[in-house]
Amino acid sequence: MEKIELWKDRENKKIDPTLFSDKAEKLAVQLADDCKNDRKKPNKISQIRKFYDEIVRLNMAAKNKDSNWDNILPMVNMMIAKTAYAKGRNLISDNFLNFIKSSIKQIEAPEDLAVFANLFEAFYGFYKLHCPVN
């Protein structure tokens, strides 16, 4: 699975125009294939939803003007450990773990988290389309 870059041009805060469409759908198709090709059926929609909900919660906290980014960023990075735990229990695939890891490692500021939250939302919508029965 290829790494998805959150920014087309980080310095100028330009997002790839296809990040929330083509790239999110391609990722969803890859993860839906993981589900279809593994008899243990990783990447159940309810499991993916737990991670999505946590990212949304952290993104909302980061948008709060009274929030302290220095306290939020470690919680964002802890998502890698939570995802690794789910992988250890065979609840998610390697591709989902890699998606979370590579995306979170790109998060340095609240704007990065906002882009990731939007990417995750787009991916989640496409995933429901491509893997509707899990």
Single pTM value for the model:
0.93
Q: Which residue has the tokens 């003007």?
A: 65
Residues 6+ apart with CB under 8 A from 121: 20, 52, 56
Q: Would you write out the chain's pLDDT as a tens digit for each of its 134 residues?
A: 788 999 999 999 999 999 999 999 999 999 998 877 766 778 888 899 999 999 999 999 999 988 899 999 999 999 999 999 999 999 999 999 999 999 999 999 999 999 999 999 999 999 999 886 66
Residue 40 burial (C-beta neighbours within 10 Å; 0-12, 13-18, 19+):
exposed
**Token code pair at residue 18:** 């296809």
